Amino acid sequence: MTTNLNLKVNYRENQKLRAQKTATFFGKFGIYLFLVIMALIVIIPFYWMLNVSFQSTDEVLNSLNVSLFPKVFSPRNYINVFFYTSSSTSINFPRYLLNTGIVAIFSTVGGTIFSILVAFALARLNFKGKELIFTILLATMMIPGEMMVISNFVTVARLGWVDDPGTGSYLAMIVPFMVSIFHIYLLRQTFKQIPNELYYAAKVDGCGDFKYLYKVMMPMAKSSIVTIVILKLMGTWNAYIWPNLVAHEEYRLVTTWLRGSFIDQAESGVGRPLLNYQMAATVMVTVPLLLLFIFFRKYIMSGVSRSGVKG
């Protein structure tokens, strides 16, 4: 009787163990299947973009052509993009890249410096109304950015920047969106994690606030600073609506040029877009941001995770 009972118990335990292993296997299989499907959804558009960028113009204009690889490999598309001008404008790709670089550099540098100073004041300095100011700044994050477009446009128009085809166009694109409440919040939360004892010890040694910020707080918050620099740079690089509203044609960003500069009656014959040129230019615009994220992703993850530890 005892032997039979032990056999039954062992059999039931083996059955439970097999059931657990089966459930674990199908659970992991479902998770990996889901991840593979999501990865394909993300990768396929990039592959299509790269594939079309190497196709010839005749192959692209054939609407019935669907191929996984270019039939005629045309790497010169990446060179021709720099010299291509459409029938609607004489402005070329390098000029739009220059505009984007100028706006991205000045808005990123200015926005980062401003965010560091404001975050330091809200995190370390003591003055009346500090918490109220921080609460109001956080409340503005609830307002969609689209609601600020009209008021910002009226402001830059009254300053005369919209009518100015030179420096005014750059100022209209840089100044209104230089300040980011999210970046201030991110840095403020990081600065709050630095012990107060370091600040008091620095003050005893005669260290001023700006020197303490530069020598102590900024190196300790390097991950968060790199994070906001990358996020600001990516936001400016991908901006489309606002530059179209306030900037003159020759001062707009590369996103505007990618949208509508590759329709040429002389080459296509029917006015259809030259997708191979458009995709080649898109690859050149996308790759720098992709490499930037790949090389600095650990700083982004570290900066975001550190800022959310302590409120």
CATH number of domain containing 112: 1.10.3720.10
Asked if residue 41 and residue 173 are part of one domain, the reply reads no
Report if residue 280 sits inside a domain.
no
* Domain contains 139: yes
H/E segment holding residue 47? helix 2-53
Same domain, 65 and 10: yes
Mean pLDDT over all residues of the chain?
Answer: 81
Q: How many domains does the chain divide into?
A: 2
- Spacing of C-alpha 271 from chain mean position: 33
Domain range enclosing 105: 85-261
Pick from 138, 142, 234, 225: which is nearest to 190 by CA?
Answer: 225
Please state the pTM of the whole predicted model.
Answer: 0.78
Residues 49 and 187 in one domain: no
Is 234 inside a domain boundary?
yes
213, part of any domain: yes
- Reported confidence tier of residue 117, pLDDT bands at 50, 70, 90: very high
> pLDDT value at position 211?
86
User: Are 70 and 91 in a shared domain?
Assistant: no
> How do residues 12-27 score in pLDDT, each as one tens digit?
777 777 778 888 888 8
> Both 141 and 3 in a single domain?
no
Is residue 308 in a domain? no
At 118, the pLDDT band (50, 70, 90 cuts) reads: very high
Of the residues 245, 261, 277, the one at which a domain ends: 261
11: pLDDT confidence band, cut at 50, 70 and 90? low
Answer yes or no: is 155 within a domain: yes
**pLDDT at 110 (0 to 100):** 92
Rounded to an integer, what is the distance from CA 70 to the centroid of its chain?
30
Task: Give 78-81's long-range contacts (Cβ < 8 A, gap of 24+).
Answer: 78/53, 78/280, 78/283, 78/284, 80/277, 80/280, 81/277, 81/280, 81/281, 81/284
Burial pattern 110-127, b for ≥16 Cβ within 10 A else e, equals: ebbeebbebbbbbbbeee
Percent of the chain with pLDDT over 70: 85
**309 found inside a domain:** no
Same domain, 108 and 57: no
Identity of the amino acid at 234:
M
198 contact partners, CB below 8 Å, separation of at least 6: 216
User: Are 122 and 172 contained in the same domain?
Assistant: yes
* pLDDT tens, residue by residue, 177-212: 888 888 999 899 888 888 888 888 888 888 888 888
List 273's β-bridge partners, or say none: 263
Q: Is the pLDDT of residue 240 over 90?
A: no
* Last residue in a domain, options 35, 61, 77: 77
Return the number of other C-beta atoms located less than 10 Å from residue 301's C-beta: 12
Question: Would you state the pLDDT for residue 309?
Answer: 43
Examine the domain organization and report whether 56 and 189 are in the same domain: no
267, part of any domain: no
What pLDDT does residue 36 have?
Answer: 94
240 in helix, strand or coil?
Answer: coil
DSSP 279: H
* Residue closest to 200 by CA, chosen among 216, 187, 185: 216
Condensed to tens digits (0 to 9), the pLDDT of residues 265-306 reads 444 445 567 788 888 888 888 888 888 888 877 777 766 665
| Whether residue 173 has pLDDT greater than 60 | yes
Q: Is the pLDDT of residue 162 over 50?
A: yes
| 129 and 239 both lie in a single domain | yes
Q: Does 71 share its domain with 218?
A: no
The band of 2, judged by pLDDT with boundaries at 50, 70 and 90, is low
